[in-house]
Amino acid sequence: MTGGSRGIGRETVSRLAADGFAVTVVYAGRTADAEAVVEEVTAKGGRAIAVQADIADEQAVVAAFERTEEEFGGVDVVVNAAGVMNPGTPLVELSLDEFDRIHRTNVRGAFVVSQQAARRVRAGGAIVNFSSSVTRLRQPGYSAYGSSKGAVETMTLILARELRGRDITVNAVAPGPTATSLFLDNNPQEAIDRLASAPPLERLGTPGDIAEVVAFLAGPARWVNGQVLYANGGIA
């Protein structure tokens, strides 16, 4: 599980552990947060380890998979939730350095993780990438982030077809506005209130809402394959 130390990722780790999965929490730099997630899982009788890795670094990702295989005996589910964003900057003002930073993690990182997952996940397993409802909403200020997630969706759907005959499902989850620190800290209150009122359900999503969708794709959803599931309360 990449991006498992905070927000949606952390809630997903807890949800998968509750379903009986042993979980590797792959994190970029927040060691204390990752260790806290592991402690939370183990305190409830689950199994988890934390591994630091830059998901765009092939060797670091290989090492994370190898550590998982050594610790737990194999890989059945890979959830790639790690990502970065920089909302609010119009395309005409966005620097190429910032564009490259976003695409390095969101596109290259998704490719590296998906490639290793495709090589290692056992039959009956699942690969779950994270997209975003930005690919449908197309709000101004999200050109770099939205284009990166569009690439993730395409990559995910193609990989599902490339794994024909392997009994491995490959899907993407596309959350809408969700009450995480990433969202709340990067948006003014006016925008938060507006987005919270936009879905027919008239609220922001919660990390638990998204974790339920991931758990579905990771476990019982064996006939859902090559799909993007938009978990956004009907906003798009």
DSSP labels for 221-236?
A: -TT--S-EEEESTT--
> Tens digit of pLDDT for each residue in 16-49?
999 999 999 999 988 999 999 999 999 999 999 9
Q: Which amino acid makes up residue 118?
A: A
Question: Within a 10 A sphere around the Cβ of 167, how many other Cβ atoms?
Answer: 12
- Per CATH, the architecture of 7-177+210-230 is what? 3-Layer(aba) Sandwich (3.40)
Distance CA 142, CA 135 (A): 9
- Long-range pairs for 105-109: beta carbons < 8 A, 24 or more residues apart: 105/55, 105/56, 106/145, 106/148, 106/149, 106/151, 106/152, 107/148, 107/151, 107/152, 107/155, 108/56, 109/2, 109/54, 109/55, 109/56, 109/80, 109/82, 109/83
pLDDT in tens, 111-162: 999 999 999 999 999 999 999 999 999 989 999 999 999 999 999 999 999 9
Tell me the mean pLDDT in the region 81-104: 92
Q: For residues 175 and 152, what is the distance between their CA atoms, to the nearest angstrom?
A: 13
- CB proximity list for 51: less than 8 A, separation 6 or greater: 24, 25, 26, 27, 63, 64, 67, 68
Which is nearest to 88 in space by CA: 146, 149, 9?
Answer: 146
Average pLDDT over residues 193-197: 91
Active-site residue flag, 230: no
Q: Which two tokens stand for residue 108?
A: 């290259």
pTM of the model: 0.95
The pLDDT > 90 percentage for the chain reads 87
Question: H or E stretch including 112?
Answer: helix 109-120
Q: Reply yes or no on whether the pLDDT at 85 is more than 90.
A: no
Q: How far apart are CA 173 and CA 80, in angstroms?
A: 10
